[in-house]
Structure 1
Amino acid sequence: MSQTFRAPDILDIARREGRVTVDGLAEHFGVTVQTIRRDLAELAEAGKLERVHGGAILPSGVTNIGYEARRGLNAEAKAAIAARCAASIPEEASVFLNIGTSTEAVARALLTHRNLLVVTNNMNVANILVENPGCEVVVAGGTLRRSDGGLVGALTMRAIQAFKVDYAVIGCSALDAEGDLLDFDIQEVSVSQTILAQARRAFLVADAAKFERSAPVRIASLRDLDEVFTDRPLPAPLAERCRGWNTRVDVAA
């Protein structure tokens, strides 16, 4: 099979799983690792993938991956992460959930919780939690972002400032080596920062693909959070920093 025919399949795997590995693709296609390295080099040169050690990931930049594509990325990992996060949220608690496919997974994991108050700027989260009769849902109004059902802007932030909740659960688009949480939309970042300021405890839900991506706008540092829920151990230097910051790291098995 030539690279021309492999390329769409390679990109489909990358979109579905967040990354591809040289060894995994060589086994999948029944070709040599040298052949796969050439394929990835060509896709990287075309701007369709970004090379990393041992494989490639979807390219970083100043714009995010499309919402529907993000929804399918690492779906199993997000579900496992969400289950661990939801298990750390007791019933009869108040919770913020922000914009993102990872926080939507947390909303699904909270469907059996009772006596919750959930404040969200994510229309998708609200639509998920409407199925839970034991959950009161407050939607923080603002400007609707049609691409993903998010609500952003000054009205959203003012609505959030009316609350002081037990838990904030946020996602991010990237997590860098210094422990900074990054995203693409300045308005969304401002909302996330407001959410963190209005919560007693703050959680991050982020699959390991976020360790390998970049984004231009800083939300906060892991030092500002109480716990990180992910599916793979953090890089050793960052894990050491988290220990010094007393930020707990929970890795979903």
Structure 2
Amino acid sequence: MERVSYPIAKVTDRQDRIVARAQESGYVAVETLAREFGVTTQTVRRDINALAETGRLRRHHGGATPPSTIENAELAMRQVINVDGKRRIAEDVVARLPDQASAFLTLGTTMEQVGACLARRSRLRLITNNLRVAVSLSGNEELDVMVASGVMRSLDAGVTGESAVDFFDNFRVDYALMSISGIDFDGTLYDFDHREVRVLRTIMANARQVYLLADSTKYGRGALVRAGSVADVDAFFTDAPPPEQLRAVLERSGVELHIVQDSD
């Protein structure tokens, strides 16, 4: 079942196709893309600049390559990429959580926006390995917050490792709110840290409903570790319509699609 809030897309089909070409060949030249799409080289450069700013491509002289699959961008950079889209996604998801529900919260900058929204709620039990989110919730005495044990990584104060896996395996919650580093057009979910992926898989296996929260900058973005498929989730929340191939996967898998766009 598909529920779309607003009809206007923010990611152009041409940009999605540029990303796909880069993934196929490893490098795309500006002049080649301009001929293929029937546009000027200036238009292609603008597209590449926009894609590079959101981490979907790396700029090079005369062209572009896919982003690194072994190293994520710095936290400060990820926090300002499409922050409005992430905030809208967070607000929509948090509004759907009923009182007295339980939920897992995973890592990522989208989840930090979720934490900011949850800080205004009450009567929820929240379990997380995201220390930044836990701190944002700490001032609300009407929330029951539990924090996973394990190894804290310096990148983003996320807790991973075997202890975190064992911790989450002790619970069965109503909802898992999870984010991801990248979603391939075939629906494969990717992340950069194999330890984080083990935690994610445990979280997904111990929730009655799994909600995937990922903004449109994650479309077509690869990383080193496979974390599963969009077919493994119950609902997908994003800020712009997904590319056609990904949309088809969602429809075949019966995943609810919620596109939370700006009303403007």
Match of 2:184 in 1: 176
Which of 127-136 and 114-123 deviates more? Answer: 127-136
Q: 1:133 Cα shift?
A: 2.1
Q: Distance in 2 between matches of 1:238 and 1:96?
A: 25
Q: Does the CA-based 8 Å contact 2:182-2:191 persist in structure 1?
A: yes
Number of the residue aligned with 1:34: 41
Structure of higher RCO (CA pairs closer than 8 Å, 6+ residues apart)? 2
Q: Aligned residue for 1:59?
A: 67
User: How many angstroms does 1:103 deviate by?
Assistant: 1.0
Aligned equivalents of 1:99, 1:178: Cα separation in 2: 23
| Residue 222 (structure 1) aligned to one of 201, 207, 230 | 230
C-alpha distance in structure 2 between counterparts of 1:232 and 1:225, whole Å: 18
Partners of 1:101 and 1:58 lie apart in 2 by 21
> What's the CA shift string for 1:46-100, capped at 9, x where partnerless?
xx9536xxx9798233111111111111111100011111112111110000111
Matched, 1:79 2:95: no
Q: Secondary structure at the match of 2:219?
A: helix
User: Following superposition of structure 1 onto structure 2, how do residues 103-252 of structure 1 map, counting pairs within 5 Å?
Assistant: 103-252=111-260
> For residues 10-47 of structure 1, what are the alpha-carbon distances to aligned partners after superposition, in whole Å with 9 as ceiling and x for unaligned?
xxxxxxxx99x8xxxxxxxxxx9534656859xx9xxx
TM-score, length-normalised on structure 2?
0.76
TM-score, normalising length from structure 1? Answer: 0.79
CA RMSD of aligned residues (A): 2.8
**Cα distance in structure 2, aligned partners of 1:248 and 1:180:** 17
Q: Secondary structure at the match of 1:131?
A: coil
Q: Identity rate of aligned residues, in percent? A: 36
Match of 2:101? 93
Give the number of aligned pairs. Answer: 219
Partners of 2:151 and 2:227 in 1: CA distance: 20
Alignment of 1:10-21 (within 5 A): none
How far apart are residue 242 of structure 1 and its match?
Answer: 1.2
* Contact residue 57 and residue 212 of structure 1 kept, 8 A: no
Task: Tell me what 2:27 maps to.
Answer: none
Structure 1 residue 212 displacement after superposition: 3.0
Once the two structures are superposed, residues 94-147 of structure 1 have per-residue CA deviations (whole angstroms, 9 ceiling, x without a partner) of: 000011111111111112221111000010010011132221110011001011
Kept in 2: contact 1:60–1:213 (CA 8 A): no
Shift in Å, 1:181: 1.0
AA at the equivalent of 1:106: V
Higher alpha-carbon deviation: 202-211 or 104-113: 104-113
Aligned residue identity for 2:172: K
